[in-house]
Amino acid sequence: MKRNIGSKLALYPCPVAVIGAMAEDGKPTWTLVAHMGIMGHDHVMVSLAKPHHINRWVKEAKVLSVNVVDEGILAKADWCGMASGAKVDKSEAFSWTAGDAGAPVIDDARLVMECEVEDVYDTDGFDNFITTIANTYADEAILNDKGKPDYDVFKPVLFEMPSYTYLRTGETIAPCLSFAKAAR
Ligand SMILES: Cc1cc2nc3c(=O)[nH]c(=O)nc-3n(C[C@H](O)[C@H](O)[C@H](O)COP(=O)(O)O)c2cc1C
């Protein structure tokens, strides 16, 4: 029997990413985010609490980077989820290169989307940035022979809110629709 546990978010675990944006004096700022959403095949939503330092810079630059976190950058990413750019300079947390659309791209992040802000959807306490994907940068080493990210090689770190924990990505179960095809 199921128990109604109230109005609770239950879409965990989900990937975490370091959001990058250019801030003052040509320096970047970085913020760790888990609340992101896929919209269609070309839009990504990034939900940022209004008091965060980075929001102002995303609104000004209208472009951000979504640096998908794996264990190689987790320690630094975690720090960017505690420290606020309003109090400390986070610009040197990562070495970075400017993407073609002008967002800072973390050199050690192996999969990064550079996204242009199309709209900001306001909810209570949050700026929800609706973005379109301008460019995606992938380390050659994580691409398969079809040029697509191989998630047996690149293992995004997952996050879950109820116990506030990072999880390792699991194993492949089966190709999608293989069950459906077997049942035909
Ligand atoms: C695992 C983790 C996930 C987080 N996810 C989000 C998120 O989805 N949205 C958000 O607004 N803040 C999120 N945060 C909090 C911000 O990363 C944190 O408050 C940060 O210090 C804000 O930095 P800023 O003020 O420099 O922008 C998360 C923090 C952690 C540790």
| pLDDT given at position 170 | 83
Q: Does position 80 have pLDDT exceeding 90, yes or no?
A: yes
Is residue 116 exposed (0-12), middle (13-18) or buried (19+ Cβ within 10 Å)? middle
pLDDT band for 184, please (50, 70, 90 cuts): confident
For range 132-136, the mean pLDDT: 98
Q: pLDDT, tens digit, for every residue of 166-182? A: 999 988 999 999 999 99
**Contacting residues for 102 by C-beta, under 8 A, at least 6 apart:** 22, 61, 63
> Given the structure tokens 């306490």, which residue do they identify?
125
Give distance in angstroms: CA of 37 to centre of ligand 1. 15
Amino acid identity of 71?
E
Cα(16)–Cα(33) distance, integer angstroms: 6
State whether the beta carbon of 159 lies less than 6 angstroms from ligand 1: yes
State whether the beta carbon of 128 lies less than 6 angstroms from ligand 1: no
State whether the beta carbon of 34 lies less than 6 angstroms from ligand 1: yes
| pLDDT given at position 124 | 98
Q: pLDDT, tens digit, for every residue of 47-71? A: 999 999 999 999 999 999 999 999 9
Amino acid identity of 132?
T
> Given the structure tokens 């459906």, which residue do they identify?
180
Record: fold of 14-183: Pnp Oxidase; Chain A (2.30.110)
Q: Which of 31, 53, 82 to mutate to test the pocket of ligand 1 (most atoms within 8 A of CB)?
A: 31
Sequence ranges of the domains in the chain: 14-183
For range 119-146, the mean pLDDT: 98
Is residue 80 exposed (0-12), middle (13-18) or buried (19+ Cβ within 10 Å)? buried
Q: pLDDT, tens digit, for every residue of 2-26? A: 999 999 999 999 999 999 999 999 9
Is residue 102 exposed (0-12), middle (13-18) or buried (19+ Cβ within 10 Å)? middle
